[in-house]
Structure 1
Amino acid sequence: MEEVKLFGHRASPFSCRVEIALKLKGVHYDFIAEDPSNKSPQLLQYNPVHKKIPVLLHNGKPIAESLVILEYIDEVWKTNPILPQNPHEKAKARFWANYAEEKCLPALFKTFWSVGEQYDKDKAEAGEVLKFLEDELEGKKFFGGDSIGLVDIVANFIAFWFRTIQEALGLDVLTKDNFPKLWEWAENYVNCSDINQFLPPKDKLIAIFPPPYMGQHLVAFFQSRLAAAAAAK
């Protein structure tokens, strides 16, 4: 019998990616909860390079980094593929997954920590990178077409985590008016029954963000922004 374990954190979008892929494949696994601020010896053993979640343990062999794990899952368990079979379409999916990871996530994350003119600048930068994803959704329900695929799973940070924190902070980076296709995609994604069971409650997500391993000055700044946003409502 196969042994599949996932070392992760329930509020992590990166752990969530892996859980969704395993769910779509129908793979049974054991979830090992990790505390990012107090990492277990097992996690450090299985991911000595980056020392972070998620880590997938398959029959005693560890695989680290969520994008690598997703491709591994798709290669090992063939049912319900999350990558296209056509080589060109597969290459495109990998491109947009890397784009969401390397371009969109950092640009969106910056808007949480900026105010005034810097926020306007960071919002404009985030809008520029989101525009490419908006265009890629033309005529499609999901990035994978009619079903959820690799790009959708990788972009889960946008669909749920970013929109939740954005709402709590009173930001207007990604809205239904300025990115209607992305907004509709996000609604379809988070309301999918295979997805929403792994999404943390919004109030708990806001309560634990930013992650405990970030600097105290960032934690204090984020908490002050939350308080100001709540007072303004």
Structure 2
Amino acid sequence: MADEAKLYGVGGSPFVCRVKIALNLKGIKYEFIEEDLSNKSADLIKYNPVHKKVPVLVHNGTPISESLVIVEYIDDSWKGVPILPRDAYEKAQARFWAKVVDDKCLPALFKAIGSHGQEQAVAEAPRETT
């Protein structure tokens, strides 16, 4: 049986892009299913009943949620070019920096993009550090 991979997502999402990059690095053929987040599909709700959000990778009928978890799953499940370091410490460091990007950088970027006028100037202003 050939591997079947489906990716539920939305275009432009950095989290979905992260998974697409991992799939492409491994040369995995997959079906992309575009979700309308204002009208979520029954499949998305079934495959990610806790958060009901994208991305979700469905591999041979088994769903995996959360982009960083999906990338690790892809790396562990398909051989070829490794995505994450094999050394435990280096892998932990990669996970740490990916989490920093998710928790600190992306929210600031979304705030700057989604704001206007004075609010945007404040969001884009460099912060002093001590």
Matched, 1:119 2:118: no
The 1-side partners of 2:22 and 2:61 are apart by: 19
The 2-side partners of 1:118 and 1:58 are apart by 41
Taking the aligned partners of 1:123 and 1:82, their CA distance within structure 2 comes to 34
- Looking at structure 2, the residues matched to 110 and 63 of structure 1 have their Cα atoms a distance apart, in angstroms, of 28
1:110 aligns with 2:121: no
Give the Cα separation in 2 of the matches to 1:33 and 1:118. 30
Counterpart AA for 1:115: G
Return the alpha-carbon distance in structure 2 between the equivalents of residues 121 and 27 of structure 1. Answer: 38
Q: Does 1:92 align with 2:93?
A: yes
Distance 1:117 1:21, change over 3 A: closer
Once the two structures are superposed, residues 23-52 of structure 1 have per-residue CA deviations (whole angstroms, 9 ceiling, x without a partner) of 100111111111111111011110111111
Q: Which residue of 2 aligns with 1:79?
A: 80
Question: Which residue of structure 1 aligns with residue 50 of structure 2?
Answer: 49
Contact preservation (8 Å) 2:108, 2:123: no
Equivalent-residue separation in structure 1 for 2:10 and 2:110 (angstroms): 19
Q: 1:15 & 1:97 partners in 2: Cα distance?
A: 14
How many residue pairs get aligned? The number is: 127
Instruction: Give me the whole-angstrom Cα distance separating, in 2, the residues matched to 1:60 and 1:108.
Output: 34
Q: Secondary structure at the match of 1:119?
A: helix
Q: Which has the larger radius of gyration?
A: 1
Aligned CA RMSD, in angstroms, stands at: 2.0
Deviation (angstroms), 1:111? 2.0
Q: Give the corresponding residue for 1:19.
A: 20
Q: Retained in 2: the 8 A contact 1:14–1:66?
A: yes
Q: Which runs of 5+ in 2 are unaligned?
A: none
Q: Which runs of 4+ in 1 moved over 4 A?
A: none
Q: Contact conserved, 2:8 with 2:34, CA < 8 A, in 1?
A: yes
Please give the residue correspondences for 1:30-69 in structure 2 after superposition, counting only pairs within 5 Å. 30-69=31-70
Amino acid paired to 1:41: A
Give yes or no for contact 1:15–1:54 (8 Å, CA) kept in 2. yes
Ranges in structure 1 where 5+ consecutive residues have no aligned partner: 129-233
Displacement of 1:122 in angstroms is 5.1
For 1:44 and 1:76, locate their aligned partners in 2 and report how far apart those are by CA, in whole Å: 24
Q: CA deviation at 1:121?
A: 5.8
Cα offset, 1:67, TM superposition: 1.1
Do the aligned partners of 1:8 and 1:34 also contact (CA within 8 Å) in 2? Answer: yes
* Structure 2 CA distance for partners of 1:109 and 1:11, relative to 1, 3 Å: closer
- Greater per-residue strand proportion: 2
